[in-house]
């Protein structure tokens, strides 16, 4: 490997990624604040702009864009799922413009348009989530939560939960390999059988998780960890103390906050963000 | 002689739901600064004995206990594992099962943070433990899961050493490792013996490595302790060990065989070096 | 006896870009007992998984009993090569021991009477008492879980059996039991056995042939005795021969050969040297 990499929750990130110059708390708040945008704003143009902004952030932070490519098919499928859902359950109104009639099903422009709006909103939200997971490490989450004064026990549990998901994914792959070794041809199975197989994986996954949680609780005790409720008492925040909020952090936080406040004010007091302003609604 | 730092008296233990006693009356005294090797076949009660030295047995497992264990003045029935952890560090066989964090740095300071040490002291103890276990600085931000087996176990040992416990118990620290990993861990144990005057108790199958380090060897067999002796004495009766399903290092068994064949009548060697000397002596006589 | 496995110049690159194998070539005859040795990351597990068809080579081909692993379906490959994973917990996913062992044969679409017969046979071979049939595998001890895992592979009657780290975490006596069992499968049932291991004394005692690997390449391949005699090559791969072999290698000047594998053999050599010399 030419550059040194750090493992994030969803892949690897080069050590020199600028994202590491931000305090973990700032990065944690980024998720909370920025995910609010697509929840407030429906206007597709703004959400497309937001998605492009996220892609730019991926680039700047040196996240390997292959992460997104892995989800390519999921993105495409998502659109169809939403479009089909709104076509069937979106309702019908005599003023709707019918594009095609497939037997009793009327594919209407109004429903597809609404599906598109929701889809673009979701894409923006998903990109934010992927960005968060591919730039955060468990350590960053614990430090971020501690900086926000979340009790250590809760912050630690959050980290532990994320890690156990990761370990379960590794287990899952080994189990599938072991199943192949027992003459299982997944490709040859009908869909209903495949679904049944997934049910079977639960047994070893839970077995492994139970054994692991026993081990962790023994290890915690052996390192003098006392569960004394949510107050961590005399516990030192050594790792947290290694991070300092810088001017950059305050600037980023202020920027995000001002932007969010602006959007909230605009959407409450004006109709600039109304869907009728979208190009989609002028066709 | 001074008061022993660990005293096990008539210890019996039975896990809930099992019919038989795992430990059937064990007595053992260990003094401050001793390096103790515990050997014996699997399922003989070694791990249970180890876990009773830091209070995991009886505190974290349901079962029936008789007799008592006093560690650094604490009766394990009257103190929690977390309290006993201030005196006893514990290293588990599988390094991955004991990691509590996703970076080496967090891992090594975890127990120190729990104890509420000041920042500077944490930092100082962390560097000391990393240096003793030979872990380079650029590992600090790595996830321990991504290291080699030997490195993983060294990190686990470092995070226990950082507490500077009076007593360290290692339960088969090399059993899950490849040969390089085993050698790395044995080197750390050697460093610990040389530079850190703690009481070290190691359960280990690889007698070849532990025999030259130990001050005292303990044989655990079917829930009892049939033999406790310094290594040279412990390994003299090779047949006794074989009868108890313990296979001493090749060179000891060889020299024992040479004694049986009437070719040699001196003591059993501890290392390949000593064995080389024995064979040269035998062949030099012709 | 015919050819069981032919590995023809295969390389394997993992999805994350790690090179697991470089240009490995190897032929295994039916009925052999082999050991793959090398440090972690040397490629021995990758090679084994390619032989079993669990992984398909990136370049080159693997043939098992004349079938290319790229083309043969897993249901057929599993009857040719069985792979036993190190941790039994990854390979036990059924509610009873019976279903667990029957799982493979059922995937092979065998009639239920034959499934029953194979389960009974596999349980007998690994020494699992009939009373365990309805037990939940999760609640068995680790040793018993390991046996169920082995039985579940045996029930498919694979002609080649690969065992990943059979003696890790086992004591001296348990290791001997497992290896004696594999030897029995090899001698009496004609299975070709491949063990992946770090346990050099076990290799010296049981494997007829040893393949030493380092950095994804096959470094040495030959009779175990000859492989262990190459102390310098092994040292480069960080492999330490058994203690008795290392002792022999220090005594070359006294006429002791560097390929001694057992204590008995060494004692005989010394005895005859003493008697011959006096």
Predicted confidence (pLDDT) per residue in A194-244, tens digit: 777 777 788 888 888 888 888 899 999 999 887 766 665 678 889 999 999
CA distance A67 to chain B (A): 20
Bridge partners, residue C194, by sequence:
C34, C162
CB-count exposure of residue B275 (10 Å: 0-12, 13-18, 19+): buried
Q: Which residues in chain C show pLDDT less than 50? A: none
Interface with chain B: mutation pick from C37, C177, C247, C251, highest number of B CBs within 10 Å = C247
DSSP string of A68-111, one letter each residue: HHTTHHHHHHHHHHHHHHHHHHS---TTSPEEEEETTEEEEHHH
H-run or E-run covering B6: strand B6-15
> At B61, is the secondary structure helix, strand, or coil?
coil
H-run or E-run covering B91: strand B88-91
Per-residue pLDDT, C1: 65
In 3D, which of B44, C208, B66 has the Cα closest to residue B76?
A: B66
Contact status of A192 with chain B (Cβ, < 8 Å): no
- Chain A residues in contact with B119 by the CB 8 A cut-off are 236, 238, 241
Cβ distance B111 to A218 less than 8 Å, yes or no, reads no
Tokens at C45, concatenated: 């597990």
pLDDT in single tens digits along all 286 residues of chain B: 678 999 999 999 999 888 889 999 999 999 999 999 999 998 899 999 999 999 999 999 999 999 999 999 999 999 999 999 999 999 998 888 889 998 999 999 999 998 889 999 999 999 999 999 999 998 998 889 888 888 999 999 999 999 999 999 999 999 888 878 888 899 999 888 888 888 999 999 889 889 989 999 999 999 999 999 999 999 999 999 999 999 999 999 999 999 999 999 999 999 999 999 999 999 986 5
Cβ distance C244 to B250 less than 8 Å, yes or no, reads yes
Question: Residue range A42-47: average pLDDT?
Answer: 91
* Paired sense of beta strands C160-164 and C192-196, if any: parallel
Interface of B with A in 62-121 (CB under 8 A): 80-82, 85-86, 89-90, 92, 94, 97-103, 105-106, 109-119
Q: Which chains touch A (3 or more CB pairs under 8 A)?
A: B, C
Distance CA C140, CA C59 (A): 42
> At A256, is the secondary structure helix, strand, or coil?
helix
Q: How confident is the model at residue A1 (pLDDT cuts 50, 70, 90)?
A: very low
- Among chain C residues, the shortest Cα distance to A188 is held by C73
Q: What one-character DSSP code corresponds to residue B227? A: E
Interface with chain B: mutation pick from A223, A228, A231, A232, highest number of B CBs within 10 Å = A223
Cβ distance A181 to C95 less than 8 Å, yes or no, reads no
Contact status of A220 with chain B (Cβ, < 8 Å): yes
CA distance C239 to chain B (A): 7
CB-count exposure of residue B113 (10 Å: 0-12, 13-18, 19+): buried
Start-to-end CA span in chain A (Å) = 51
pLDDT tens-digit series, residues C235-254:
988 888 999 999 999 999 99
- Chain A residues in contact with B116 by the CB 8 A cut-off are 233-236
Cβ distance C78 to A181 less than 8 Å, yes or no, reads yes
């Amino acid at each position: 490997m030419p550059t040194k990499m750090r493992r994030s929750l969803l892949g690897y990130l080069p050590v020199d990624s600028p994202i590491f110059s931000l305090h973990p708390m700032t990065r944690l708040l980024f998720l909370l604040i920025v995910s609010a945008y697509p929840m407030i704003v429906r206007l597709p143009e703004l959400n497309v702009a937001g998605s492009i902004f996220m892609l730019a952030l991926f680039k700047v932070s040196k996240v390997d864009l292959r992460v997104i490519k892995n989800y390519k098919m999921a993105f495409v499928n998502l659109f169809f799922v939403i479009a089909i859902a709104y076509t069937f359950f979106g309702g019908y109104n005599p003023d709707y413009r019918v594009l095609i009639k497939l037997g009793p099903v009327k594919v209407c422009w109004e429903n597809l348009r609404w599906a598109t709006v929701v889809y673009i909103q979701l894409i923006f939200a998903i990109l934010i989530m992927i960005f968060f997971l591919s730039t955060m490490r468990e350590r960053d989450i614990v430090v971020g939560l501690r900086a926000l004064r979340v009790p250590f026990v809760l912050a630690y549990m959050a980290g532990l939960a994320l890690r156990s998901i990761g370990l379960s994914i590794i287990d899952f792959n080994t189990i599938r390999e072991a199943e192949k070794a027992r003459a299982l041809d997944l490709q040859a199975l009908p869909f209903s059988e495949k679904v049944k197989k997934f049910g079977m994986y639960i047994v070893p996954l839970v077995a492994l998780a139970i054994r692991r949680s026993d081990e962790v609780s023994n290890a915690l005790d052996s390192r003098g960890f006392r569960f004394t409720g949510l107050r961590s008492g005399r516990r030192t925040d050594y790792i947290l103390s290694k991070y300092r909020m810088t001017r950059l952090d305050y600037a980023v936080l202020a920027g995000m906050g001002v932007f969010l406040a602006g959007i909230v004010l605009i959407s409450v007091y004006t109709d600039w963000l109304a869907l009728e302003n979208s190009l989609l609604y002028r066709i | 002689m001074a008061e022993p730092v660990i005293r096990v008296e008539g210890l019996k233990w039975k896990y809930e739901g099992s019919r038989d006693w795992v430990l059937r009356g064990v007595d053992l005294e260990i003094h401050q600064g001793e390096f103790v090797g515990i050997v014996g076949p699997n399922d003989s009660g070694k791990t249970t004995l180890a876990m009773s030295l830091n209070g995991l047995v009886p505190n974290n497992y349901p079962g029936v206990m008789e007799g008592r264990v006093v560690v650094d003045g604490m009766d394990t029935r009257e103190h929690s594992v977390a309290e006993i952890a201030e005196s006893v560090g514990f290293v588990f066989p599988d390094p991955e099962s004991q990691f509590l964090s996703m970076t080496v740095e967090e891992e090594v300071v975890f127990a120190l943070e729990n104890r509420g040490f000041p920042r500077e002291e944490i930092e100082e103890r962390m560097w000391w433990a990393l240096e003793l276990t030979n872990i380079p600085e650029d590992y600090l931000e790595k996830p321990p899961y991504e290291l080699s087996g030997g490195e993983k176990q060294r990190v686990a040992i470092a995070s226990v050493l950082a507490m500077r416990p009076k007593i360290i118990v290692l339960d088969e620290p090399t059993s899950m490792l490849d040969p390089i990993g085993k050698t790395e861990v044995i080197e750390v144990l050697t460093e610990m013996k040389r530079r850190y005057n703690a009481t070290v108790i190691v359960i280990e199958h690889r007698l070849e490595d532990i025999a030259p380090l130990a001050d005292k060897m303990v044989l655990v067999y079917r829930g009892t302790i049939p033999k406790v002796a310094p290594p040279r004495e412990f390994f003299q009766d090779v047949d006794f060990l074989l009868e108890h399903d313990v296979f001493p290092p090749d060179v000891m068994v060889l020299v024992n065989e040479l004694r049986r064949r009437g070719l040699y009548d001196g003591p059993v060697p501890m290392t390949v070096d000593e064995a080389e000397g024995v064979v040269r002596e035998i062949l030099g006589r012709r | 006896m015919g050819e069981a496995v032919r590995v023809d110049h295969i390389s394997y690159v993992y999805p994350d870009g790690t090179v697991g194998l470089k240009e490995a070539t190897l032929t295994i005859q039916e009925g052999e007992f082999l050991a793959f040795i090398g440090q972690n990351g040397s490629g021995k597990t990758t090679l084994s998984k390619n032989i079993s068809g669990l992984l398909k080579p990136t370049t080159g081909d693997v043939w098992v009993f004349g079938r290319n692993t790229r083309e043969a379906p897993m249901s057929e490959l599993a009857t040719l090569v069985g792979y036993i994973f190190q941790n039994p917990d990854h390979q036990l996913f059924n509610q009873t021991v019976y279903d667990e062992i029957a799982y493979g044969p059922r995937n092979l679409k065998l009639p239920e009477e034959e499934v029953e017969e194979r389960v009974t046979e596999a349980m007998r071979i690994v020494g699992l008492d009939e009373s365990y049939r309805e037990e939940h595998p999760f609640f068995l001890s680790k040793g018993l879980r390991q046996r169920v895992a082995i039985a579940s592979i045996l029930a498919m009657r694979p002609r080649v059996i690969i065992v990943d780290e059979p003696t890790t975490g086992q004591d001296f006596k348990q290791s001997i039991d497992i290896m004696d069992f594999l030897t029995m499968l090899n001698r009496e049932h004609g299975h070709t056995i491949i063990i992946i291991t770090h346990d050099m004394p076990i290799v010296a005692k049981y494997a007829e042939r040893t393949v030493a690997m380092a950095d994804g390449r096959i470094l040495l391949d030959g009779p175990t005795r000859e492989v262990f005699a190459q102390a310098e090559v092994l040292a480069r791969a960080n492999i330490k021969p058994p203690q008795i072999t290392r002792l022999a290698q220090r005594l070359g000047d006294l006429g002791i050969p560097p390929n001694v594998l057992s204590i008995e053999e060494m004692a005989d050599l010394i005895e005859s040297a003493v008697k011959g010399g006096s």
